[in-house]
Chain A
Amino acid sequence: MSPAMPRRRPNFFYHLHPPTIPDREARFSYTFGLGGISLLLFLVLGLTGILEMFLYVPTPEEAHLSIRQITYLAPFGWLVRNIHFWAGQLMVGTVVLHMARVVLSGGYKARRLNWLIGIMLLFLTLMLDFSGYVLRWDQDTAWALLVGTNLIREIPWLGASLYRLLVGGEQIGAAALLRFYTWHVLGLALVATAFVTWHLFRVRRDGGISHIAPVPRVDREQLVHSELIAMLLTLACLVGLSLVISAPLGPPPDPGALVAEPRAPWFFLWIQELLRIAPPFLAGVLTPLLILLLLALLPYTLDRSQEGLARWFNRPGRAAQIVFVVILVGVVALIVRGALR
């Protein structure tokens, strides 16, 4: 707030920010608001998810039917479900782009712990998306669940126990659906909430968005305003998408039906492509975990220099930037290849 204006008691949203912030934090063109948008989508997912919990029944007999009730009978149920769906899809994108921004602008220098928390959040986002996808319990998701859980079996030594832990039986059934439901609405969601809070706390503890120490500080007013605008635009996109494109819902699963082209959810299509050419454990378990590990280690190995902090495409971080972009392009290319089949 500028001194010329009459003093007002700052409201709650102002109090979420420190009184002054590094000036570039207020500039949309530095962060593109990607972290904040991800947070907003996370909150929207929580809210719409709670609404869906009132009507969704996590049993094989009723799951599909209850989704149809949400979609076709409950007033505005279709909108709630579509918003939940689209927020989930968009969040994968905004989280990855947020990560790209942090790598390419050297944002993780001097705050490596928060980078690791962020990697954990990427993992949780994907697990939440996959478990939510499974809850749809139609023909498509049944195949994805079958392939995904059979992959767990391929892990040496631990495979059989992990499979039992995840599926709750020798094959997919009521126990598996209940387990995925509980992980989705509680297990993963609570852990993700804790990590999101920690992630935000670290940003604030580190003095705001990454910056080089002597930097002009400005009043938080402008940041609060751009956050408000970003929030309204994101919500508008979300509702717009939800009005135009509905969340898919296929026929109920029939374990004996031959399906022409079973597809993984789009964010795992790249794994499905890898599974066509490499042994299951290597393609479906080891490669994704190694990619996460490689990303987690970037600021500990390839990009240890503090120089280039908060500078887009800084020279000391070049190697890490190239590794990141290569991985990202590879994954996207495989997704596109899978989608075009």
Chain B
Amino acid sequence: MKDRAVDRRRFLTWLARGSIATAVLAATGQVVRFLSYQPPSSASEVLPVGQPASFSPGLVVYVAEARVYVGYDEGGLYALDAVCTHLGCLVELAEQGGFRCPCHDSRFDAQGRPETGPATRPLRYLRLWLDREKGQLMVDRATTVEPTARLTF
């Protein structure tokens, strides 16, 4: 009889502790979900990079508003993302050709392929097209294209 009373008390104690622990755990999970909420983003990833006439063959031009390098080679125009694939800094044109990231010294060749430094992935080629109504070249930062893709007129 006595043993039973102890057992019941023990049982209730563990039940109480278990409920509290479950409640705390569940609440923590919901707090994490609450904090992970993201307001819907309105920022557009489609940005103008300028008129076609402002680019000339053989030159690579940085367009700050879109954070891309627009190049013009024998195939045509292309947009190379300036965001370093290592940790997101903006790469600059290196003196010896290609690109260099000033944050951690990753180097890429003129085609955006990693050469030295910590970056392992090539720079992204972004979708580039001519918006005939606006007369503007547009880039879509959210869409990656093949490194061989070129825009011709």
- Interface stretch among B17-25, B59-67, B70-78? B59-67
Tell me the B79-118 residues at the A interface (CB within 8 Å). 82, 86-90, 92, 102-105, 117-118
Query: Do the beta carbons of A165 and B102 come within 8 Å of each other?
Result: no
Known: A254-B64, A256-B65, A278-B118. A146 touches B88 (CB 8 A): yes
Cβ-defined partner of A277 (8 Å) among B65, B90, B118: B118
Q: Does A267 contact B (CB under 8 A)?
A: no
Closest to B119 in A: A280
Least CB distance, B122 to chain A, in whole angstroms: 17
The interface stretch among A126-134, A167-175, A205-213 is A167-175
Chain A CB within 8 A of B36 CB: yes
- Indicate whether B41 reaches chain A with its CB closer than 8 angstroms: yes
Shortest Cβ distance from B117 into A: residue? A276
**Residues 169-209 of chain A, each 1 if its beta carbon lies under 8 Å from chain B, else 0:** 11101010000000000000000000000000000000000
The reply to whether A170 and B41 form a contact with Cβ atoms under 8 Å apart is: yes
Verify if B32 is at the interface (C-beta below 8 Å from A): yes
A74 to B89, CA, bound (A): 35
In the complex, number of A-B residue pairs with CB atoms less than 8 Å apart: 75
Collect the chain B residues with CB atoms within 8 Å of residue A277's CB: 118
Residues of B within 8 A of A321 (CB): none
A161 CB-CB contact with B under 8 Å: yes
State whether A147 touches B36 (Cβ < 8 A). Answer: no
Do B88 and A276 touch (CB < 8 A)?
no
- What residues on B are CB-neighbors of A240 within 8 Å? none
Do residues B36 and A272 form an inter-chain contact, with CB atoms below 8 A? Answer: no
B39 touches A169 (CB 8 A): yes
Question: Which B residues are in CB contact (< 8 Å) with A146?
Answer: 87-89
Inter-chain CA distance A175–B37, complex, in Å, is: 10
The residue among A151, A256, A279, A284 with the most chain B CB atoms within 10 A of its own CB is: A256
Determine whether A215 belongs to the interface, using a CB cutoff of 8 Å to chain B.
Answer: no
- The stretch from A89-97, A258-266, A303-311 touching chain B is A258-266
Q: Does A216 contact B (CB under 8 A)?
A: no
**Cβ A165 vs Cβ B36 within 8 A:** yes
CA A255 to CA B90, docked complex, whole Å = 9
CB distance from B40 to the nearest CB of A (A): 10
Q: Which residues of A sit under 8 angstroms from B64, Cβ to Cβ?
A: 254, 256-258
Please name all residues of chain B whose beta carbon is closer than 8 Å to the beta carbon of A150 when the two chains form the complex.
Answer: 87-88
A159-B24 Cα distance, complex, nearest whole Å: 24
Given A275-B118, A276-B117, A262 and B89 touching (CB < 8 A)?
A: yes
A143: Cβ under 8 A from any B Cβ: yes
Tell me whether A272 and B89 are in contact in the complex, defined as CB-CB below 8 angstroms, given that A168-B38, A257-B64 are known contacts: no
Residues of A within 8 A of B92 (CB): 258, 260
Q: List 8 A-B contacts (CB under 8 A).
A: A143-B89, A151-B87, A173-B43, A257-B90, A258-B62, A258-B64, A275-B103, A277-B118
The 5 closest A-B pairs by CB, nearest first: A256-B64, A150-B88, A150-B87, A276-B104, A147-B87
Given contacts A151-B87, A164-B38, A168-B39, 16 further A-B contacts (CB under 8 A): A147-B88, A147-B103, A169-B38, A169-B39, A170-B38, A170-B41, A173-B43, A256-B66, A258-B90, A260-B102, A261-B102, A272-B103, A277-B118, A278-B118, A280-B118, A284-B87
* Interfacial residues, chain B to chain A (CB-CB below 8 A): 32, 35-39, 41, 43, 62-67, 82, 86-90, 92, 102-105, 117-118, 120
